[in-house]
Chain A
Amino acid sequence: MGIRLIDGSSDSTARRYVLTSVFWLVLALAVGLVTAIQLVWPDLTRGIPQLQFGRLRAAYLNAAVLGWLSLAGLGAAHYIVPRLTGRPLWSERLGNWGVWLWNGALLTGVTGLLHGWTEGREYAELAWPFDLLLLAAAGLAGCNLLATVARRAEDELYVSVWYVVGAVVWFPVIYVVGNRTFVRVWGLHDAIVNSFYAQGLVGLWLTALALAAAYHLVPVLTERALYGRRLALVGFWGLALLYPFTGGVHLLQAPVPEWLKGMGVVASALLLVPVSAVVTNLFVTLSGRWDRVYRDIALRWVVTGGFHFLMAGALGAFQATRWVNWYLQYSQWMVAYHHLVLWGAFSFIALGALYHAVPRLLARPWFSGGLAEAHFWLTLAGFTLTFWSLAAAGLVQSAAWLSGSPVQQVVPYLKPHFVAAVSGAAAMALGQSLFAYNLYLTARARVERAPAEPAAAPAAFVPAGGGPGAA
């Protein structure tokens, strides 16, 4: 761990991705906590334009999606690919540049958002200079990963690698289409493009990164081969073929063409097939080794994330149907669903990857098992509280709107739910701070014996945190 920004040593890119992603994790949850408080105490930041709800929310979303989840997923990909291809990363220096370019673009972009420099489309708020820089960073990372895969020593391509390849192919396409600043389309067309982008960014890019990590971690941490390759193929190609067509489900309540809505509804319902194929595959791989879910904290994160992923898939198909959407659209239910996808599913899997990768990237065990346990339970409790309170708020809103109450009359009834959501967000923010602190202690701890692990060696089962399962 030098202070040098660019470092050609093995795994330096993965290390930089992982460490910077934790910065975005803490930042996103801190901002998220403030926005949650503002829904209870709206005059909290009165008179400070940079800290108003609308701007903070955009900053929070970008920090969470393009900061934390993207960087952690790329970190996991840069950790996994060399290990599964048997070759070191094609260029660590290029990878390092990519890390700093991405972080720099996002940091300036998010600062711009706080100062009101926004394009006003959900997930695509960043202004165009930052879009271009981010695309360049993604291009560097993508070429690096693809070149590594192309020069692999192993003939077989593992399932994780499929998803990494898919992610780096999809991201530039989705990002260019979604952020086409210079190709202006009018009115509803803009909303149609935006909904393709939002669906693609979450459903293709983030899902692929998270599943790449999950498909690597579950077999490695259980020391068992993946249950079924054919099932994995169904999951992978099903996702690839269906998710790009789901854009219409964002606009089921808007006057866009019915065929677009119908396509989105059908594709969303069919997505249950790949989602259940993926989750079945992972959970059957676990059978007979479920005790390790209790003992190994990395596996526990991943499996909890897997449960949330299944729940998100089921809810996604459920609320994409016309009548359910008719009832629930625009209420806090949808906010709860996004929390389930971003925090419950993807963040849990990404944190599992971090718990597994950090000891290997820094060549030392986690400093504190207790902090790690506290992190897990605080995050799970906080997330569960936030999710259910917002889902209940959504049901209250939907029922009240349908019975004819003006929207502004319903707002006071949401207060208990918003208060519960604040408690949940506070627990999550506290948990992530403990995690960051644990990471800091781990990074600065003196290493007595350096278990230098060659990048090409298959990752062995090492329980994190020196917990009860250490053996």
Chain B
Amino acid sequence: MVVALWAGLALAIVAVLLVALVGGRSLAGGRSPRLRGLMVGTGAAVAAGVFATVWLPLAAFRPPVTAAAHPLSELEAYGRRVYTREGCYACHTQVARPQDWNVGSVSEAGDYAYQPWHLLGAGRVGPDLANVGGRYSDAWLTTHLKNPRATFPGSVMPPYAHLSSDELRAVVAYLQSLGRDKARPRLFTDPGRQRDFEAVEAAVPDRYAALEPKVAVAPNTANAGYGIYLQNCAVCHGDTGRGDGPRAATLARPPADLTRTGRQSLQYIYWRIAEGVPGTAMPAWKLTLHEEQLWYLTAYVRWVAAEAAQAEPAEPAEPGLAGPWGEIPARFAGLENPFRGQAAAREAGSQIWGGMCAVCHGPAGAGDGPAAASMVPRPADFTGDRYRDYPDSFFFWITTAGKPGTGMPAWEDLLTEEQRWQVVTFLRTFHGVE
């Protein structure tokens, strides 16, 4: 190996010298080269190029195989051949770069071991597929391949309706294998819900943990941070920091509810803003904002959390209402269903359910409607015992106000109060509450 390397290197040096000799001689004399000189010079030049950019990487570039690389199963290999045959690489790359957001782990050289031909891709009209495995259900991918406009209305992907069902199954299996074995980064998207705050804090790298805040937490600095926040962050985290911005519903990982970060250190918040959160759409803001701006944002986040803690007392106003359903806002807490037990209301609720709710939650409330397969998080499954002890007011609250960070919309403006109670009446029959 070493001998071959040196021999190749010597050959390349001879080649470059030959080119320099032929080219240099004719250049010095200002004469046209002779035919032999031309052939030797051009041949030596391309040989040196082959050595340096083809042979040398083959000989010297031996990346360690990563956990993400794995030989494909027979079905996946067949899918890869179909993927190649149909030219999918024309619009989809398989390289996740550090600057690409929400595409998972960055591709490493060893990820590509075992690939008999490369499918890095020519460019992106559609998304990068390096880590697509596990992001969508098989049913979703099959639908998407057959009719891309059904799953993404603006898509320009060709319909692969001509693939046989075996080919479709193989392509889906192949797609699901991409990035499948890649270690997913641990997520701390919503530290407020973490029980073990110390463990979360321990994730802060030392160089961040040692930072001294450059900006004090005060109304004026929080206001300065709020200006930066509205321009950069509110689209996902919402204008009040509750993680309910307009883009939140499109993200696979919901944005953090900043009002619940009160127990985190300033350094933790600063670190999350500066470095971003791997595996989510949260970018590394140190790339686009100055250090001082990041500290103003930190001050704002702290202020929002502090305000929220004051506005919502830690103990519920009526302790008897607290349960696994969490705190029901005062506006809904304690409301009683006016239609409880009325068959006519159940019937009316059933009508509304079929038209509005069943598409996600399924006709029998099992969270298995036609749209459910593509939703993250999945729609709630109301069957079984889980919801049996919940109060009616809980369901009325969620139906009215929606659930931020999920696909559940607020029905307040679409259904009357009476209709919402009818839906709740019907819904409760799924887990046997009449």
Contact = CB atoms under 8 A, between A and B. Distances in A.
Interface of A: 38-40, 42-43, 45-49, 52-55, 57-58, 116, 118-122, 146, 149-150, 156-159, 162, 165-166, 169-170, 173-174, 177, 184-196, 200, 204, 229-230, 233-234, 236-237, 240-241, 243-248, 251, 253-257, 260, 263-264, 326, 330-332, 334-335, 397, 401-402, 404, 406-409, 411-412, 414, 418
A118 B85 contact: yes
Contact of A49 (B31, B122, B162): B162
22 contacts: A39-B125, A49-B162, A54-B86, A146-B35, A149-B35, A188-B112, A192-B53, A194-B118, A196-B50, A196-B53, A234-B27, A243-B49, A244-B49, A255-B95, A255-B107, A255-B108, A260-B57, A334-B123, A404-B283, A407-B124, A411-B126, A411-B155
A53 B87 contact: yes
Contacts of A245: 48-49, 52-53
B401 interface: no
Interface in B11-30: 16, 19, 22-23, 26-27, 30
A246 B123 CA distance: 19
Contacts of A58: 87, 90
A236 B24 CA distance: 12
Contacts of B89: 54, 120, 122
A307 B27 CA distance: 26
B58 A120 contact: no
B117 A120 contact: yes
Interface of B: 16, 19, 22-23, 26-27, 30-35, 38-39, 41-43, 45-50, 52-54, 57-58, 60-61, 63, 69, 84-91, 93, 95, 97, 99-102, 107-109, 111-128, 148-149, 152, 154-162, 250, 281, 283
Contact of A184 (B43, B101, B116, B281): B116
B87 A55 contact: yes
Given A244-B48, A408-B127, A52 B32 contact: no
Given A57-B90, A187-B114, A332-B123, 19 more contacts: A46-B161, A54-B90, A157-B34, A162-B32, A162-B38, A174-B46, A177-B50, A187-B118, A189-B57, A192-B53, A192-B57, A200-B46, A204-B46, A257-B61, A331-B123, A407-B127, A411-B125, A411-B154, A412-B154
Contacts of A331: 123-124
B49 A52 contact: no
B155 A230 contact: no
B162 A263 contact: no
Contacts of A244: 45-46, 48-50, 52-53
B45 A407 contact: no
Contacts of B91: 53-54
Nearest to B151: A408
Contacts of B126: 407-408, 411
* Highest count of chain A CB atoms <10 Å: which of B30, B34, B42, B85: B42
Contact of A408 (B35, B93, B119, B154): B154
Contacts of B250: 406, 409
A121 B107 contact: no
Contacts of B86: 52, 54-55, 116
Contacts of B63: 188, 255
Nearest to B112: A187
A166 B171 CA distance: 44
Contacts of B149: 42-43
A188 B118 contact: yes
Nearest to B125: A411
B151 to A, nearest CB: 9
A237 B41 contact: yes
A120 B158 contact: no
Contacts of B48: 244-245
Contact of A158 (B32, B49, B58, B116): B32
Instruction: Rank and list the top 10 A-B pairs by shortest CB-CB distance, nearest first.
Output: A244-B49, A54-B87, A187-B112, A237-B23, A412-B154, A120-B84, A407-B127, A191-B118, A190-B118, A247-B53
Nearest to B89: A120
B38 A166 contact: yes
Given A247-B54, A255-B108, A330-B123, A230 B30 contact: yes
B123 A162 contact: no
Contacts of B154: 408-409, 411-412
B124 A240 contact: no
Given A55-B87, A57-B87, A229-B32, A237 B102 contact: no
A256 B41 contact: no
B113 A186 contact: yes
B58 A254 contact: no
* Highest count of chain B CB atoms <10 Å: which of A38, A330, A402: A330
B237 to A, nearest CB: 13
Nearest to B36: A150
A53 B38 contact: no
A112 to B, nearest CB: 11
A334 to B, nearest CB: 6
Nearest to A193: B54
Q: Which secondary structure dominates where chain A touches chain B?
A: helix
A189 B125 contact: no
A264 B161 contact: no
Given A39-B156, A244-B50, A186 B116 contact: yes
A42 B158 contact: yes
B155 A157 contact: no
A264 B57 CA distance: 13
Nearest to A152: B35
Contacts of B41: 237, 240
Nearest to B108: A255
B307 to A, nearest CB: 27
Contacts of A186: 112-116
B58 A189 contact: yes
A255 B111 CA distance: 10
Contacts of A402: 99
B109 A255 contact: yes
* Highest count of chain B CB atoms <10 Å: which of A120, A196, A412, A414: A120
Given A54-B158, A166-B38, A187 B87 contact: no
Contacts of B113: 186-187
Contacts of A192: 53-54, 57-58, 61
A150 B85 CA distance: 44
Contacts of A52: 86-87, 158, 160, 162
Contacts of B27: 230, 233-234, 237
Contacts of B26: 233
A440 to B, nearest CB: 33
Contacts of A42: 148-149, 155-159
Contacts of B107: 254-255
Contacts of A157: 32-35, 38
Contacts of B99: 326, 401-402
A404 B155 contact: no
Contacts of A326: 99
Contacts of B160: 52
B288 to A, nearest CB: 9
Contacts of B124: 330-331, 397, 407
B118 A150 contact: no
A330 B94 CA distance: 11
B88 A54 contact: yes
Contact of A38 (B114, B148, B158): B158
Contacts of B108: 255
Contacts of A166: 38, 42
Contacts of A263: 52-53
B290 to A, nearest CB: 18
A241 B23 contact: yes
Contacts of A187: 69, 109, 112-115, 118
